[in-house]
Amino acid sequence: MTVLVVLLVLLLTEPTISQSNYNYTNISNHCRGSAPTPNFIKNRNSTFAEIRKLLLSNRVLYARAQDLSGGDSVYAAAQCRNYLSVDQCVACFDVGVYEMVKCTAGNGAYVFLDECYVRYETFDDFYNLPNSTSDGASTQISSCGNESASQSLTSYTQSVDEFLQYIRDATPKTSDLYVANIRQIASENASVYAIAQCAEKINPAICDICMSTAYSKLKECLPRTEGRFFDMDCFARYSETPFFNANQTIDITNILKGQHSSTKVATIAGAIGGVVILFLIFVMLLLYRLHKSSKKTDEEDLKGTLNYNYKDLQQATSNFSEDNILGRGGYGEVFKAIIDDANVVAVKRLQIQDAKAKKEFENEVKLISNIHHRNLLRLLGWSSEGSDLLLVLEYMANGSLDRYLWGAKRGTLDWNQRHEIIIGIAKGLAHLHNEFHIKIIHRDIKSSNILLSDDFKAKIADFGLARLQPEDETHVNTKFAGTLGYAAPEYALRGVLSDKVDTYSFGIVILEIISGRRCNDVNSDMPSMEYLLLQAWKLYEKKTHIKFIDETLELSQHQQEHVMKIIEIALLCTQSPVSQRPVMSEVVLMIQDGQSLGKRLLTRPTLVHNQNRRII
């Protein structure tokens, strides 16, 4: 109670902070959202009080709090620079709070200062996705000083630029994602102070992305003697004016040296791994020859799949001729092949250059060998003879879906065909998630991985990245592997994988099918166009999502109403947090019956930018 009283005094009076070096000209205050209720204001103030208490009592530089009472959810967080004392941190926090209570017309806000940031939101995802905001607006701010180096501008720029590159590279590699360092600039007879800090507990990969952006912005300031970059993911600053003590620096030389040595270790490990794989291949060949009379493999337990002879497949593809290529992927190519002089199949070739390729091959064989569903591409056989790993798959005469949306066949699919394709994908995913003996997550649902039969029935292909989800777990944590633009934010940024990741990707594919546009394509001839998910949401908000429909489609009034409902289902599939997304078995029923959302309320989806893996 005492802490709350103290805070309320701070909120009502101008704060006086002595013995601090805060530059108040760099306060950046941003409010947004709808007008808050009195109860929301109360909850917001209580979270501020709790954060202040945590900073002081735990003697820490980062804290977060929440108050969900009365139905008005408030989540708040604050983080200070690591060169501050706790008392200085609290002083900076008080300044941030004083600025934020000026937001009387918004239910979300953040304040950037040189020494800290403070923010609050109505949703909890920002703890794990620091750059997500309620309105999706960018949180990046950069500024440059007014003074330029007085001596050799070229020499100064080169020296500071190199220094900033070191800061950029070292920060994601430190244990606390923080670096402070000083460099002497001989041409200027001066010292440049620089720090960089990423958000608390953020994924180092996201820290690395943010630091690359920070570096590019600070580089634009040169040859000026000061620059700043603010974002929710990270903060970076350089200046000739000291803003931390000389004894607070971190030796980034050793950190960067460690990077080089770890690269050497990885190279050596890769070489050793290659030898091991070659040995394994030799063993496999030996076993194969010893059991040559058998066309089946007990080792992999591939029921219903043949172990093809490599030379037969080589001949069937005309020695893997370029003329027979159906498509290319990250680890190999797919060829058209004719076996037994009559049967047309597809042969997927993976080159076993590393353990990852072999693991993907084995993964795909084991997962799909026993899966049989009309909307899942069937595995007919395999071969691991020679230097290549081969999968023999059903041949899909019409190729991949993307060809019919924006490729050579664009505009040839009518709405009934598109609707059947959407239903087919949904049924295939529902089978993977719920109808098999174990839950399988595809992880890479996208239009190029949807193949079309000669009667335009959809089949999900490419199970190389698929993972199993144990029945007793809601998700698994893993490294990201997939395609940005289609990937759910919790998976792309934090590696949280569940069946709802496929649901999100499916929602994106629906939007592509309806619009005839790529999810991450901004048309250069029409710079006002936005990324697909964002455009769909904005049109839905205005109740004009009929404008989202592919212009090549000729629809009746009834069909237009039907398509608009499907757009709403697609947006439902892309909701965050994960709990707001339906399971695929539910999606199948909604799409088949053309159901409306009923009482479900949609919120703005979280979109991961395809180019730099940022949230917008």
Active site residues: 444
Comparing CA positions, the residue from 89, 79, 77 lying closest to residue 22 is 89
Question: What does DSSP assign to residue 176?
Answer: T
Are 196 and 216 contacting, i.e. CB atoms less than 8 angstroms apart? no
Q: Which tokens go with 263? A: 């690269």
Largest Cα–Cα distance in the chain?
89
Q: Where do we find the tokens 């099918």? A: 513
Are 33 and 66 contacting, i.e. CB atoms less than 8 angstroms apart? no
**Measured distance CA(221)–CA(228) in Å, rounded:** 9
SS3 for 607? coil
Type of residue found at 166: Y
Type of residue found at 543: K
- 100, with CB counted inside 10 A (0-12, 13-18, 19+), is buried
Comparing CA positions, the residue from 86, 241, 244, 259 lying closest to residue 169 is 259
Question: What does DSSP assign to residue 264?
Answer: H
SS3 for 397? coil
Measured CA distances, 170 to 161, 173, 263, 400, 608 (Å) = 14, 5, 15, 43, 25
Question: What does DSSP assign to residue 437?
Answer: S
Residue burial 48-61, b: 16+ Cβ < 10 Å; e: rest = bbbbbbbbbeeeeb
Comparing CA positions, the residue from 446, 532, 434 lying closest to residue 481 is 446
Comparing CA positions, the residue from 206, 197, 162 lying closest to residue 176 is 197
Comparing CA positions, the residue from 156, 203, 152 lying closest to residue 177 is 203
**Measured distance CA(405)–CA(403) in Å, rounded:** 6
SS3 for 431? helix
Are 26 and 113 contacting, i.e. CB atoms less than 8 angstroms apart? yes
Q: Which helix (H) or strand (E) holds 420?
A: helix 415-430
The strand pair at 306-307 and 379-383 is best described as parallel
Tell me phi and psi for residue 318, to 5 degrees.
55, 50
